[in-house]
Structure 1
Amino acid sequence: MIFPAMDLMDGGCVRLLKGDFAARTNYATDPIEVANNYASAGAEWMHIVDLDGAKNGQAEQSDLILKIANSADIKVQTGGGLRDLAQIKRLLEGGVNRVVIGSLAVTNPQMVKHWLRDVGPDAICLALDVNQGEDGEFRPATKGWTEASNKTIWDVIGDYLGSGLKTILVTDIGRDGMQTGGNIDLYKRIQSEFPSLDLISSGGVGTLDHVRDLKAIDPYGIIIGKALYEGAFTLPEAIQC
């Protein structure tokens, strides 16, 4: 399943290169119009990131995200700066289908496990945005990709086994926005070690061949952002390839 991505800052659509807020591209498009276009093109879901929230540690684009969720015939998963259950329930009760928890999934797993029990596993996706270290291991970055964790991705995911966790989203930061292809080896290892989880891949898609490579390993979802914004291919082409 293709998840077209929308990154929001200051009420508009943007993209970052490798998560660098200084390497930001602004797109002169209306977020609600973009969401409606995705729905018309055949997408069942879209992925929205509140980058202001991710950077500042407090959800800042929730009103706009709720407006998008209620204006387009498409399911919405969203994250960025979600820090408490009240914020999460406001989004879920307001029309968002699934929230994405990033930094806290790494830094406060007990709280996130409590949320999983409270709102149910279908309503929460863990987002692990990872960098590969000199030792070859992948470790999550937190706080809008500005801080590194000492835990490996395998430590973090393994700690959630038995918690009811159902869906994970993994981004290779080194490939994000580069359009050089997804990290197939990493995703295959995740699928092998955690076969009970639904994996959404993110980062690196730049061509239809990249989409085909990811579809070949059959993840639950594939997030595509920059390639769609910049016209490398169309959403219907990605869905049908």
Structure 2
Amino acid sequence: MKIIPAIDLRQGQCVRLFQGNFDRQTIYGKDPVALADSYRNMGFSDVHIVDLDGARSGQQENQEIIRSIIKSSELAVQVGGGIRSAEQLESWLDAGVARVVIGSLAIIRPRLVSEWLASYGPEKVVLALDVTLDETGTPQVATHGWTRPGNITLWQCIDTYLDVGLQHVLCTDISRDGAMTGPNIELYAQLIGKYPQIQLQASGGVRDINDLKALDRIGLPAAISGRALLDGKIDSTELTTFLPAA
């Protein structure tokens, strides 16, 4: 299993939100470029970067910082946050990102996103599907920064894109994000069972190395960790088996 550190940017700063709530953020006094470099030095091969301002406005407000990370870190960078046009997507690919992350648009405009998967290649596009569990335990996809229901289940959404070769899905259980309550192992096990061909990235709730080991045991391809790494809850010496570049 691959571990992918997360760097969330807001107004040029590295932050973490609690369950996507912009009013409940923790600011980390770390230079984002230096942080990415430190992750590379620890042995990570990838980094997940979210432009939180862009997610709200649709403008790539932290793009200079992200471009600096792409140039300096030697990491495979995947970028998300407010990417809503082919021009924006192409701009990031031209800048050298490994993968572009598409969120709400995958629910709102499935035909357009299907065209992108076909045009740019499924290896270049990650669908970020953020879910809440309904009263029956079925994962329902949320949109617009988790503020609106997408009126579609996680399974329905993924099925929509199978015919165009969908490869990468980043799934977040909203209730676990930033909460340090442990990942939703059952949800990710279901996903792996239903879609073994998908390169799944799990996000939300990772507290420590034991959570990562639990995700690894179910055969998860990749896990994203933000707060646990930033808060030092996971020591670099514990990660050796997960770091091919160490």
Give every structure 1 segment of 4 or more consecutive aligned residues whose post-TM-superposition deviation is greater than 3 Å. Answer: none
Distance in 2, matches of 1:38 and 1:236, equals: 13
Which residue is equivalent to 2:49? 48
Q: How does 1:66-81 map to 2 (within 5 A)?
A: 66-81=67-82
Which residue is equivalent to 1:113? 114
Secondary structure, in 3 states, of the residue corresponding to 1:149? strand
Q: Note if 1:157 corresponds to 2:158.
A: yes
Shift of 1:239: 4.5
Which residue is equivalent to 1:35? 36
Render the CA deviation track for 1:42-93: whole Å, top value 9, x for unaligned. 0010000111111223332222211111111211001010000110111111
Q: How does 1:89-128 map to 2 (within 5 A)?
A: 89-128=90-129
Shift of 1:229: 0.6
Percent of aligned pairs with the same amino acid: 43
Secondary structure, in 3 states, of the residue corresponding to 1:151? strand
Gap runs ≥5 in structure 1: none
Secondary structure, in 3 states, of the residue corresponding to 1:110? helix
Secondary structure, in 3 states, of the residue corresponding to 1:144? coil
Q: Please say if residues 2 and 239 of structure 1, whose CA atoms lie closer than 8 Å, have aligned partners that are also in contact.
A: no
Q: Please say if residues 80 and 100 of structure 2, whose CA atoms lie closer than 8 Å, have aligned partners that are also in contact.
A: yes
Q: How does 1:171-210 map to 2 (within 5 A)?
A: 171-210=172-211
TM-score by length of 1: 0.97
Gap runs ≥5 in structure 2: none
Shift of 1:19: 0.9
TM-score by length of 2: 0.95
Alignment coverage as a number of residue pairs:
241
Which residue is equivalent to 1:21? 22
1:20–1:230 CA distance, 2 compared to 1 (3 A): same
Which residue is equivalent to 2:141? 140
Which residue is equivalent to 1:61? 62
Secondary structure, in 3 states, of the residue corresponding to 1:177? coil
- Which amino acid in the other structure matches residue 231 of structure 1? G
Shift of 1:152: 0.6
RMSD: 1.2
Secondary structure, in 3 states, of the residue corresponding to 1:160? helix
Q: Please say if residues 41 and 236 of structure 1, whose CA atoms lie closer than 8 Å, have aligned partners that are also in contact.
A: no
Distance in 1, matches of 2:236 and 2:15, equals: 18
